[in-house]
Each structure stands twice: as C-alpha cells, then as structure tokens.
C-alpha cells in the first residue's frame, strides 16, 4: 500500500474517532413505518406528522399536556365570529436563515387548501387569509368555527421563497404518485432540520441552530431508522443500536422492562381502531352472494357481536387496549362513557341475526388490513377472521403495507377494512367530518344520514356550547345505533427506550424532541 493512501486512511480513522468522541448527543429513533412524505401538506397521517412536527411549526401548537398554546403566533383574537387576527413572532427564521413573515403564513395556509393537499377538508371553513402587515395575518372563516385553533395546530408553515425556488408551490399529489422536491426535502422553522433523507431506511435530523425558541433539549442529532419487523426492532433496542421505539410491540414489553438499562412507558392513545363495511355498493367486490349483505343493519350487528373483543385485548394486545363502543375516546368533546359501551359478545345472537337477515350460511368477503400501521394490526385482523368464521362468515384476509392500504381504500377498493382514527383537534367534529359525513373523504363505508349531516353543520357553526354538545350527542347516537362502523378498541401506546433517554410520552403518539434529553 502506498504511504499516501495509508495516510488518508489514518486520517479518516482519526476523523471518525474525533467526531465520535465529541459531545454529540444522538437519539436513534425507530418505529415500524416511515413518514410517507416530507411534504407537510401532502398526507394527513400519524408518522408523517410525527416527522414533520420536528421540522415544521404551526401558528399554534399543543404542548406536552396537549393543551393549545402559541407557537409561531404569540397571540390571536377574533374580532367577529368569522374574522381572526394572528400576531406572529418577529424573531423567527427558517433553517436557511430567511426571516419568516406573514407572507409565508398566507402562502402555507393557501397551499394547504390546494386540491392536492390532504388538509383541504381539515381547514375547509377557512374562506380567506391575508397579510395585514409583516407580522399580522387575518383569517376569515365561512361560518363561526369553534375549533379553528385546533385545526391550525396541524397546518405547518413553509417558506414561500423556498417553495417557489424548488417548484413546491402546490403540495405533492400523493395519491397520483407524484415525486417532488418537497417530498424528499424539508425546510422549516422548527427546532430540527433534516440533513439526510433515505425513505424507509434512514432520516437524519440535526439541531437547527437558528431556531427561535429556548432550547430545552440537549440533542444534536436524531436518526429515524424505521424497522418493520417487530422482533428485529426489539432486538435493536435491546442490543443498544436504537435508543427509543415509539411503537414497542406489546408482546415484548415485559422483556424490555426486565432488561437492565431499558424502560417502558404506556399511555392510552388518542386513536380508536375500527372496521368499516361498505354499506352503499350494490354488490360486494369480494363477495359470493351477488348482493351486499352489509346493507342490512342485522348483518353489521351480527359481525359486531361475533367479535370477542376481550379475547383480542387479552391475547393479541396483552391487556394494552380499551374496548371501544364509539370511534372516539376520553378527552374528546362529545365523548361519554355511556356511548363507549359495546354491544355484548354473543355468538348465538350473531348467528340468529345473520339468519334473520337472510344469510343463514354466511357469506364470503375480503378484509383489508394494514400490516405496519397500528399496534398488532394484522394480528387483530387474523383474530377477527377466526371469530367471524364461527358464525359462518368466510373472511379472506388481505394485509399489506400502509401506503398501499390507504391508497386503495381511497380508490374505493375496499368492502371491509380496518382503519384507526385519531382526533388531533380533540373535538368530535373531526370524526364526523371525515368518517360520517355524506361523501366525506374517509367515509369509505359510504354512510349517509341527513340528520347526521345536519348535526355536523351545527357543530361547525354553533358557538353556543350547549346546543353544539346536544348536536354532537345526537349524531353519536344515530351512528352508534346504525352500526355505521364496527368499533374495536382504543389503542394504548407504549414507548420503550434506554433509561438515559427521556422523551416525554404523549397520548397522540407524537414525540416532541425539543423537550427530550439524553443523559
């Protein structure tokens, strides 16, 4: 070997040791799936938002205690029920050094209303937005909106100039498989910036030195390393290659806790898992009866009562789930314990219902499931297949990765499917608006009820809280009695980490690394 080469290698070694010797605090973070896209308006999905939240910020945001507080806006006021003023921080810079002004906020909110945005319905009541001066933004709503702040907490602010320069003026068209600069690059005002993005393999976040906030964390770098296989993920955590797993497999929690140097934290998650059944199609795509049994409420109820949710809780979820009667959870406006009560598990009653509905021998149907989205999603589906088999419903399970699952659901390819719903706004309106309203984007069961639609209008425009709560209660009663969906359970999430890594657990499963520390 030539001396010159040797020198080079030695230098490389030196460099590596020097850099690893410095006081770099790195958190290696893993979960089963990756963010679907870095474009903050292209996909409204849990892990995608979890990643974006570290880089991008919104006008207002939820803190560790989940209450809404200021972020890019310091204060706000509504001058009339339809006109809001937001006063921005004046010391905010993007990670490339540009100053953030009201231009960027106006641009971002309008961007999130573009047809390719996945947030367009989210903020559908926003009818106008304009800059009053450099640091004041006026937002107009089409009707009084009691949950505007909740909604704005998930609309991330991008740089107008950066978007212009990188052809990212409109959100990436995710459904059409478009590839854009903003899908693989991110530039925000948040406490971290992305320096490397290899989808499904590795994403590196570095501390953003230009961040405006008080630095409460001591982290210089975060690496997101998605590991799909649960066993490998746990092995990586136990062997020390990963510092924190934000979806620790329930079956391994005891083992992780027992390991010295690791800890597990659990909290009820703001997410309900349920099954949807298409009630509008004339004929099931995967059926064998030539009609659509799900049109009959008896059939939906039979399936409901055939599911032994306690067995799923005990065996599949290892006790870490809360059986659900409605698709929302404690803490959300409109939730009550009474509504959350399930119909009893009763196989004989289910069989009778099925026979009464004209399907004494059951029928065939395909159940679509994600296999890398929710806690033990595929295992739950497998269990459901077995339970429905006992009442003669022959279910063929089709489990696939979340991006395909969601896309095909959106393309109306599902007869019977699993979905989970979180409520970032902590208001029942969010659930109705997406899952129950006639023609809503995630209403893939094609449920439609005039009274529910009317109640949703009340939720959107009624500022009298008593009247509004009455409308919510009424809507819940209708959809529950109709068995529009088959609720399964509220998820309990568990984060497992090394004992020296402190990332506060949050019920929406979103880590906030700006409050984290490595000791």
Partner 1 sequence: MVMLIVAFVSFSLFNFVGDPINNMVGEETSDEERAELRETLGLMDPIYVQFSRFVVNASKGEFGISYQLRRPVSELITERLPATIELVLISALIALVSGTLLGVYTGINRKGFLSDIILAISLLGVSLPTFVIGILFIYLFAVILGVLPSFGRGEVVDIGFWSTGFLTISGLKAIILPSVTLSLFQMTYIIRLVRAEMMEILQTDYIKFARARGISEKSIHYKHALKNGLIPVITIAGINIGTLIAFSIITETVFQWPGMGFLFIQAVQFVDIPIMSAYLVFIAFVFVMINFIVDILYYFIDPRIRVKAEAVSG
Partner 2 sequence: MDSKNLTLFNRIKDSDIYFSFIKSPTAIVSTVILIIIFFCSFFVELVTPYNPFDPSSLSLMDAFTPPSWTEDGLAKFILGTDGQGRDMLATILYGSRISLIVGFSAVIFALVLGVSLGLTAGYFGGKYEMIIMRFTDVQLTVPSILMALLVDGIARGIISRELHDEMAIYVLIFAIGISEWPQFARVSRAATLVEKNKDYVSASTIIGVSNLIIMFKHILPNIMRPVLVIGTIGLALAIIAEATLSFLGVGVPPTTPSLGTLIRLGNDFLFSGEWWITFFPAIFLVILAFSINLLGDWMRDTLNPKLN
Residues that bind partner 1 (CB under 8 A): 9, 12-13, 15-16, 20, 173, 175-179, 183-184, 198-202, 225, 227, 229, 232, 235-236, 238-241, 401, 403-404, 411
Ranges within 369-408 binding partner 2 (CB under 8 A): 379, 382-383, 385-390, 396-399
Q: Which does 230 bind (CB under 5 to 8 A by kind): partner 1, partner 2, none?
A: partner 2
Ranges within 267-286 binding partner 2 (CB under 8 A): 286
Nearer to partner 2, 9 or 231 (CB): 231
Question: In sequence order, which residues have a C-beta less than 8 Å from that of residue 80 and are 6 or more positions away?
Answer: none
Nearer to partner 2, 312 or 488 (CB): 312
Q: Which does 199 bind (CB under 5 to 8 A by kind): partner 2, partner 1, none?
A: partner 1
Task: Report if residue 320 touches partner 2, rule: CB under 8 A.
Answer: no
- DSSP reduced 3-state for 160: helix
Report the run of H or E that residue 17 belongs to, with start and end.
Answer: helix 3-21
Cα–Cα distance for residue pair 361/371, rounded to 1 Å: 30
Nearer to partner 2, 210 or 285 (CB): 285
Q: Which does 379 bind (CB under 5 to 8 A by kind): partner 1, partner 2, none?
A: partner 2
Site string for partner 2, 141-180 (x = CB under 8 A): ----------------------------------------
**73: nearest Cα among 127, 132, 125, 136:** 136
Binding segment (CB under 8 A) for partner 2, from list 18-26, 223-231, 453-461, 474-482 = 223-231
Q: Which of 110, 169, 311, 473 binds partner 2 (CB under 8 A)?
A: 311
Q: Which of 31, 105, 230, 512 binds partner 2 (CB under 8 A)?
A: 230
Residue 448: beta bridge partners? none
Nearer to partner 1, 200 or 361 (CB): 200
DSSP 457-513: HHHHH---HHHHHHHHHHHHHHHHHHT-EEEEEEEEEEEEEETTEE----TT----G
Minimum distance of partner 2 from residue 255's CB (angstroms): 6
Number of residues that bind partner 2 (CB under 8 A): 31
Nearer to partner 1, 179 or 282 (CB): 179
Question: In sequence order, which residues have a C-beta less than 8 Å from that of residue 386 and are 6 or more positions away?
Answer: none
Residue 259 CB coordination number (10 Å) = 17
Binding segment (CB under 8 A) for partner 2, from list 22-30, 50-58, 217-225, 308-316 = 308-316
Question: In sequence order, which residues have a C-beta less than 8 Å from that of residue 293 and are 6 or more positions away?
Answer: 284, 287, 299, 357, 359, 363, 365
Nearer to partner 1, 235 or 347 (CB): 235
Task: Report if residue 326 touches partner 2, rule: CB under 8 A.
Answer: no
Q: Specify whether the CB–CB gap between 490 and 324 falls below 8 A.
A: yes
Binding segment (CB under 8 A) for partner 2, from list 226-234, 434-442, 451-459, 467-475 = 226-234
Minimum distance of partner 1 from residue 229's CB (angstroms): 7
Q: Which of 143, 315, 341, 457 binds partner 2 (CB under 8 A)?
A: 315
- DSSP reduced 3-state for 70: strand
Which tokens belong to 498? 């090394």
Q: What is the DSSP letter of 143?
A: S
Q: Which of 234, 281, 327, 496 binds partner 2 (CB under 8 A)?
A: 234
Minimum distance of partner 2 from residue 378's CB (angstroms): 9
Q: How far apart are the first and last CA of the chain?
A: 43
Cα–Cα distance for residue pair 453/466, rounded to 1 Å: 19
Cα–Cα distance for residue pair 380/273, rounded to 1 Å: 10
Q: Which does 251 bind (CB under 5 to 8 A by kind): partner 1, partner 2, none?
A: partner 2
Residue 312: beta bridge partners? none
Cα–Cα distance for residue pair 437/282, rounded to 1 Å: 20
The DSSP bridge pattern shows strands 136-141 and 192-198 to be unpaired
Task: Report if residue 244 touches partner 2, rule: CB under 8 A.
Answer: no
Task: Report if residue 264 touches partner 2, rule: CB under 8 A.
Answer: no
Binding segment (CB under 8 A) for partner 2, from list 22-30, 65-73, 84-92, 224-232 = 224-232
Q: Specify whether the CB–CB gap between 205 and 54 falls below 8 A.
A: yes
Q: Which does 212 bind (CB under 5 to 8 A by kind): partner 2, partner 1, none?
A: none
Nearer to partner 1, 176 or 450 (CB): 176
181: left (phi over 0), alpha (psi -120 to 50) or beta: alpha
Task: Report if residue 308 touches partner 2, rule: CB under 8 A.
Answer: yes
**Cβ burial 198-208 (10 Å sphere, 16+ → b, else e):** eeeeebbbbbb
The two most distant CA atoms of the chain are separated, in Å, by 87
Q: Which does 254 bind (CB under 5 to 8 A by kind): partner 1, partner 2, none?
A: partner 2
Catalog residues that contact partner 2 under the rule CB under 8 A. 229-231, 234-235, 238, 249, 251-252, 254-255, 286, 308, 311-312, 314-316, 379, 382-383, 385-390, 396-399
């Amino acid at each position: 070997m030539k001396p010159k080469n040797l020198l080079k290698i030695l230098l490389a070694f030196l460099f590596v040791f020097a850099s690893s010797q410095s006081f770099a605090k790195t958190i290696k973070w893993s979960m089963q799936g990756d963010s679907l896209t870095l474009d903050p308006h292209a996909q409204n999905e849990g892990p995608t938002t979890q990643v974006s939240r570290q880089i991008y910020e919104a006008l207002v945001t939820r803190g560790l205690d989940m209450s809404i507080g200021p972020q890019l806006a310091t204060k706000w006021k509504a001058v009339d029920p339809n006109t809001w003023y937001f006063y921005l921080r004046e010391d905010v810079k993007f990670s490339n050094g540009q100053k953030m002004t009201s231009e960027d906020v106006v641009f971002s909110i309008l961007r999130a209303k573009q047809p390719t945005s996945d947030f367009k319905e989210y903020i559908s009541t926003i009818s106008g937005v304009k800059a009053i001066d450099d640091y004041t933004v006026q937002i107009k709503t089409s009707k009084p909106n009691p949950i505007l702040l909740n909604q704005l907490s998930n609309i991330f602010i991008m740089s107008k100039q950066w978007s212009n320069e990188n052809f990212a003026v409109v959100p990436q068209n995710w459904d059409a498989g478009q590839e854009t600069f903003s899908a693989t690059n991110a530039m925000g005002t948040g406490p971290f910036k992305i320096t490397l993005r290899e989808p499904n393999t590795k994403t590196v976040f570095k501390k953003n030195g230009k961040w405006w906030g008080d630095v409460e964390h001591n982290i210089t770098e975060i690496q997101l390393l998605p590991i799909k296989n649960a066993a490998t993920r746990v092995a990586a955590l136990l062997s020390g290659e990963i510092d924190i797993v934000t979806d620790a497999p329930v079956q391994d929690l005891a083992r992780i806790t027992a390991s010295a140097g690791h800890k597990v934290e659990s909290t009820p998650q703001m997410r309900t898992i349920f099954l949807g059944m298409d009630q509008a199609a004339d004929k099931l795509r995967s059926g064998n009866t030539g009609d659509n049994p799900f049109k009959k409420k008896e059939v939906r109820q039979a399936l409901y009562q055939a599911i032994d949710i306690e067995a799923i809780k005990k065996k599949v979820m290892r006790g870490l789930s809360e059986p659900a009667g409605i698709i929302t959870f404690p803490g959300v406006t409109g939730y009550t314990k009474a509504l959350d009560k399930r119909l009893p598990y009763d196989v004989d009653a289910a069989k009778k219902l099925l026979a009464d509905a004209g399907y004494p021998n059951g029928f065939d149907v395909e159940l679509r499931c994600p296999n890398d989205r929710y806690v033990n999603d595929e295992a739950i589906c497998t269990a459901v297949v077995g339970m429905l088999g006992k009442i003669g419903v022959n279910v063929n399970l089709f489990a696939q990765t979340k991006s395909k699952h969601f896309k095909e659901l959106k393309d109306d390819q599902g007869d019977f499917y699993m979905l989970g719903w979180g409520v970032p706004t902590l208001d029942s309106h969010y659930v109705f608006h997406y899952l129950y309203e006639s023609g809503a984007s995630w209403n893939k069961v094609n449920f439609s009820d005039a009274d529910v639609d009317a109640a949703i209008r009340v939720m959107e425009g009624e500022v009298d809280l008593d009247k509004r709560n009455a409308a919510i209660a009424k809507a819940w009663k209708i959809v529950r009695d109709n068995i529009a969906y088959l609720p399964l359970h509220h998820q309990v999430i568990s984060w497992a980490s090394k004992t020296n890594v402190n990332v506060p657990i949050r019920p929406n499963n979103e880590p906030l690394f700006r409050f984290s520390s490595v000791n």
